[in-house]
Amino acid sequence: MVESKHTRVNPIVPDRNAMIGGFGPGKPHQKHSQMQGKNSSHSTSGRGWSRLLFATFLCVCLGSVFGWQQFSSLQERHNILQQRFEDLESRLTNTDASVSQSGAALQLKLGRQQDELEKHWSEIKKLWGVSNDINKGKIEKNKTDIAFLAKKRVEIGDMALDLKETMATQEKRISAVSGNYLEISDDLAAVHENIRLANDDLLKTNATLNRLQRQLKSHDEAIESIDGFRRQVNQKLYKLDQGLNVQ
């Protein structure tokens, strides 16, 4: 199909707003709404700027207060450090004076001690000469004693070697005796075991003998009772026999 080249014209429709004294077909009303939007946007932006300025002013005030507090703290620390420096300077001044006095007193003491040291050193030299003469004889005697002790040490070393050999021999003998002792211990253990078994057998035998003795005793008692009964019967028979003979 071939499209039509002519555009379609909308029909004219009467509008109530086109009346006399009213707005045009939508345009004056649109301008009024645009003006109201601009006024509202201007008022909103004005409120935003006022809030931003108030927040900035508040931050500046808080920063000023914080800065003043920090400045006061630093000023107080500065005053404390200044006082400490002044105290330290006064102490150093007093220390220098006391050190100067102590140095002079120490110099005097060192001079006196130097004189006493020279005096003592001269006395030591005198005593050294006397003690040197005395100690020479003692040193010679000590050398002789040391030589004698060295000789004895060699002899004692030889004796120690002999004792080591003797101890080795004795240890061998002790080892042999220990082996024999172990064998004897085993034999003694076997003998003790045999003795224990024999003792157990003896106890059993004694128990059997006691039981047999009790049985024999009971048999003897039974035999005695039988003998008594037999005697009674014999007496009765004898009496009956005598009675028959009398008749």
pLDDT averaged over every residue in the chain: 74
Give tens-digit pLDDT for 224-233. 888 888 888 8
Report how far Cα 172 is from the mean position of its chain's Cα atoms.
50
Is residue 123 included in any domain, yes or no? yes
**pLDDT digits over 57-80, tens only?**
888 888 788 878 888 888 888 888
Phi, psi for 203 (deg, rounded to 5): -65, -40
Residue 23: the pLDDT is 43
Instruction: Determine, yes or no, domain membership for 22.
Output: no
pLDDT higher for 174 or 96? 174
- Please give the Cα distance from 247 to 242 (Å, whole number): 9
| pLDDT higher than 80, residue 12 | no
If one counts every other C-beta atom within 10 angstroms of the C-beta of residue 29, the result is 13
What's the mean pLDDT in 117-142?
75
pLDDT at 14: 43
How many angstroms separate the CA atoms of 48 and 54, rounded?
10
Give percent of the chain with pLDDT exceeding 90: 0
pLDDT given at position 93: 77
pLDDT at 239 over 50: yes
Asked whether residue 247 is assigned to any structural domain, the reply reads: no
Give a yes or no: residue 125 inside a domain: yes
Q: Is pLDDT at 197 greater than 70 in this prediction?
A: yes
245 falls within a domain: no
Looking at residue 3, its pLDDT comes to: 42
pLDDT of residue 160: 84
Contact yes or no for 17/24 (Cβ under 8 A): yes
Tally of domains within the chain: 1
With cut-offs at 50, 70 and 90, classify the pLDDT of residue 44: low
| pLDDT score, position 45 | 63
With cut-offs at 50, 70 and 90, classify the pLDDT of residue 199. confident
Range of the domain at 168: 38-235
Residue 139: pLDDT band (50, 70, 90) is confident
Question: Has residue 30 been placed in a domain?
Answer: no
Q: How far apart are CA 36 and CA 44, in angstroms?
A: 12
Residue 241 lies in a domain: no
Whether 29 and 23 have beta carbons less than 8 Å apart is answered as yes
Give the DSSP letter of residue 9: P
Residue 136: pLDDT over 60: yes
The 3-state DSSP class for residue 241 equals helix
In-domain check, residue 189: yes
Q: What is the pLDDT of residues 213-222, one digit of tens each?
A: 888 888 888 8
Q: CA angle at residue 99 from 97 to 102, to 5 degrees? A: 110
